[in-house]
């Protein structure tokens, strides 16, 4: 039987990560924390000086001086905003790369790489056939790639939006983690796995898939927990028995329970597409409160480890 990482192994891995955090990540967080404090002092001093300058200009009431002061003040405020953005943009890559260095030390893992500005492509998203949209608004960041065993994978955080047909307002189609990988052996057919509690919002997805030759195959699923959580559709030539054995059904349910997130999966030929709904952005640093927190890093570590573990189990099972 295929099982996800058991609880003792998970706890051991978390204990190892805590030691790694203390020795490697915590010093980096302290360095970034000092930079954050310096920024706050800069903001405070700038605010005091700006208030003083405004009071002085109101006191002398000379229009020419007021107008001349607008340009340097505007430039200085722009520079302050830039410094805050630089802090945010450097914080995440520094911490993420340290976490990935820890993860790729595991046996069977290839080197994991990170690019904060890159994302999985829009064409990859559309090819998943999970969300029937042209994705007119498609954004992404936090691209991670690597390999586990024979399987190469890539993932990123994405935001996909479309215009409502009712009032043309922008609506969110998907926000979260998009993971893509491929099997190393030939496969035909398509399989679509959707969360059952979202059925009322997935009529377009179901209609689009069935119109392309798919049909509901819930009667071929045998795990009660899986049946309770997911709807399954497949084309006639899909290798359902191998790809969705009862063991794999149990594995998918275990991931859903552990992540406590909505999970969408599609097998399109040899391509694997996994979507995890995530409301919050990855590892976003705070500016007005400390970021030196094991819990902050732990949440990100567990999310990434969980997603990557799915590929690890696919590699082991197939």
Do the Cβ atoms of 226 and 263 come closer than 8 Å? no
Model pTM score: 0.83
Dig out the tokens for 107 from the structure: 């046996």
CA distances for 159 relative to 26, 125, 135, 162, 251, angstroms: 30, 11, 10, 10, 27
CB 155 within 8 A of CB 243: no
Q: Give the pLDDT score at 216.
A: 96
Chain-centre distance for alpha carbon 88: 17
pLDDT tops 60 at residue 11: no
C-alpha distance from residue 310 to each of 5, 111, 153, 248, 317 (Å): 10, 17, 11, 11, 10
Q: How confident is the model at residue 130 (pLDDT cuts 50, 70, 90)?
A: very high
Q: What does the pLDDT look like over 138-163, one tens digit per residue?
A: 999 999 999 988 889 999 999 999 99
Domain boundaries, the chain: 1-185+270-318
């Amino acid at each position: 039987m295929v099982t996800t990482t058991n609880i003792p192994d998970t706890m051991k891995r978390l204990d190892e990560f805590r030691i790694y955090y203390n020795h490697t990540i915590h010093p980096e967080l302290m360095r970034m924390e000092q930079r954050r404090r310096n920024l706050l002092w800069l903001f405070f001093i700038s605010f005091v000086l700006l208030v003083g300058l405004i009071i002085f200009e109101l006191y002398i009431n000379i229009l020419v001086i007021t107008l001349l002061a607008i340009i340097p003040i505007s430039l200085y405020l722009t520079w302050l905003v830039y410094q805050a953005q630089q802090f945010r943009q450097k914080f995440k890559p520094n911490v993420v790369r340290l976490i990935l260095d820890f993860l790729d030390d595991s046996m069977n893992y290839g080197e994991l790489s990170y690019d904060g500005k890159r994302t999985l492509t829009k064409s990859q998203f559309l090819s998943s056939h999970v969300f029937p949209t042209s994705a007119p608004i498609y954004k992404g960041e936090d691209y991670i790639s690597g390999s586990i065993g024979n399987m190469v994978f890539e993932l990123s955080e994405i935001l996909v939006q479309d215009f409502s047909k009712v009032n043309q307002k922008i609506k969110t189609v998907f926000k979260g983690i998009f993971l893509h990988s491929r099997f190393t052996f030939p496969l035909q057919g398509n399989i679509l796995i959707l969360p059952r509690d979202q059925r009322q919002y997935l009529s377009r997805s179901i209609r689009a898939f069935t119109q392309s030759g798919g049909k509901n195959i819930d009667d071929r699923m045998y795990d009660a927990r899986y049946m309770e959580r997911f709807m399954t559709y497949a084309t006639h030539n899909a290798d359902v028995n191998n790809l969705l054995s009862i063991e794999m059904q149990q594995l998918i349910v275990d991931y859903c329970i552990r992540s406590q997130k909505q999970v969408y999966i599609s097998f399109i030929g040899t391509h694997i597409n996994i979507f995890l709904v995530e409301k919050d952005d990855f590892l976003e640093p705070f500016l007005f409160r400390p970021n030196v927190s094991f819990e902050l890093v732990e949440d990100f570590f567990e999310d990434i480890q969980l997603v990557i573990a799915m590929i690890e189990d696919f590699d082991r099972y197939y």
